[in-house]
Structures are given as C-alpha cells and as structure tokens.
Amino acid sequence: MKDKIVICDFDGTITKRDSLDLFLDTYAKDDWRKYEKLWFENKIGSRECIRLQFDMLDSLDDKELDRFLRSVEIDDYFAEFYTKAKAQNIKVVIVSDGFDLFIDNILKNNGIEDLDVYTNHLEFVDGKFVMQFPNISKDCKKHSGTCKCKIVNDLKSEYNTTFYVGDGISDFCVCDKTDYLFAKRRLSVYCEQNNISFVPYNTFNEVLNYDKLGLII
C-alpha cells in the first residue's frame, strides 16, 4: 500500500470561483440556474444538467474561450501546496464533475501540467462543444458524469490514508468516504447538517499546514 493521497475537487476548491458557473454567467442566453436547481433537488443528474445548460450558450470562438480560461484564478496557495506534496511523495489528484478542457487549460495557465485528473471530456470543435463521460458508473445514484464515489473507493484500495478537499454539491455523496475531509461553503453546511466530521478551510494554506497531512516539517 502507498502512504497518502489528497483528492481534490476543482471548481470552487482549486479555483477561487466555479469556472463553469462563471462561464455560464458570461455566455448563457437564458437562466441556466433553473437546471442547477433541478440537479440540487435530485430531479436530474449532472450529465443532463450540464447538457441542458450548454445548450443555452451563445456562439463563441477559440480566442474568446482562451481569453475566458485565462481569466480564471486559482487558490493563492494551491501551487505551493502541490509543489510541497509532490516533493514529499504525497500523491495529489483532481476528481471533478467538470471538464478536462477547462481544468487542463486553467492549470496550464498557472504553471501546473502534471496533475492526474479524473473528469468529463470536452472538445470545442467548429464553435460547438462535444461532451463525453468516461467516468460514469451504472451504480451512481446521482447519475453524475464523473462518479466520484467509484474513483475514491478505487483510490482507497491503493493508499493507507486518504484526504479529500471539496466545497460543493458534487462532493456530498463522497464526503464521508475518506479518512480526512476538508470542507467549505455548501459542503461544510451539508456536513454540519448530517453530522459528518470535517476540517473547515478557506484556502489551501489550511490544507498545507494541517498537521496530520505532514507537509510542514
């Protein structure tokens, strides 16, 4: 068994704001949050939700998409956290119900290109978005594009100690499945309501300095 792994959500966790929400706020032609509400109420799954939301998008080109992705900011301490974790052989992965096109480019724009990412696949071809969902699970009760529970359970079989860092709805089903949980925003409220133990955090500085992770010597 390997020692430790830190599993991170992406939007709102590594990024300062949810990049998909920001993207839809900027380019959607209608109220995309009506589908978010249906998802939150478990009336539709995340795959259906994001397809319906992306159907609302105005047309844009490669330059505009690139401009948007370059505008997305990440947590001020994430790069330092990742650098120190890597130096101490602590594995860090991203598990997201977002899209690789967004995640890979945002990380690259911030000088990070070697992180393992489990997420949905998105291509931008001739002004249109094409989605694929390689991480679905027939057992996923939420009908998510990326079944975080399956990925986390698979990773748990390889590591002695698992840490999870999250902030939102897509983290609800997985938040009680790791040894340690860092939670903020909606996720921390959910944990409080359901008596799930968590470590509150605002930035990756708290994760970086958490004694049980052991990055600061």
∠ CA 94-19-99, rounded to 5°: 50
Residue 164: count of CB within 10 angstroms of its CB: 27
Spatial distance between the Cα atoms of 178 and 201, rounded to a whole number of angstroms: 17
∠ CA 62-108-160, rounded to 5°: 135
Spatial distance between the Cα atoms of 24 and 35, rounded to a whole number of angstroms: 12
User: Considering the chain, what percentage of its residues have pLDDT values greater than 70?
Assistant: 100
Q: Using 50, 70 and 90 to split pLDDT, how confident is the model at 204?
A: very high
Q: Using 50, 70 and 90 to split pLDDT, how confident is the model at 110?
A: very high
Q: Please tell me the predicted confidence (pLDDT) of residue 142.
A: 86
Q: Using 50, 70 and 90 to split pLDDT, how confident is the model at 197?
A: very high
Express each pLDDT in 112-171 by its tens digit: 999 999 999 999 998 899 999 999 999 998 899 999 999 999 999 999 999 999 999 999
Q: Please tell me the predicted confidence (pLDDT) of residue 216.
A: 74
Instruction: Give the CA-trace dihedral at 211, 199, 46, 94, to 10 degrees.
Output: -10
Domains annotated on the chain, with CATH: 2-15+74-208 (3.40.50.1000)
Evaluate whether 101 touches 77 at the Cβ level (below 8 Å). Answer: no
As separate numbers, helices (DSSP H) first and strands (DSSP E) second, the chain gives: 9, 7
| pLDDT for 217 beyond 70 | no
| Mean pLDDT to the nearest integer, 174-193 | 98
Q: Please tell me the predicted confidence (pLDDT) of residue 27.
A: 95
Express each pLDDT in 21-57 by its tens digit: 999 999 998 899 999 999 989 999 999 999 999 999 9
Strand pairing class (128-132; 116-125): antiparallel
- Long-range contact pairs involving 185-190 (C-beta distance under 8 Å, separation at least 24): 185/12
| pLDDT for 205 beyond 90 | yes
| pLDDT for 58 beyond 90 | no
Strand pairing class (2-8; 116-125): unpaired
Q: What pTM does this model have?
A: 0.95
Evaluate whether 204 touches 83 at the Cβ level (below 8 Å). Answer: no
Evaluate whether 155 touches 93 at the Cβ level (below 8 Å). Answer: yes
Spatial distance between the Cα atoms of 174 and 140, rounded to a whole number of angstroms: 11
Phi, psi of 78 (to 5 degrees): -65, -45
Spatial distance between the Cα atoms of 15 and 13, rounded to a whole number of angstroms: 5
Express each pLDDT in 70-94 by its tens digit: 999 999 999 999 999 999 999 999 9
| pLDDT for 63 beyond 80 | yes
Spatial distance between the Cα atoms of 180 and 160, rounded to a whole number of angstroms: 12
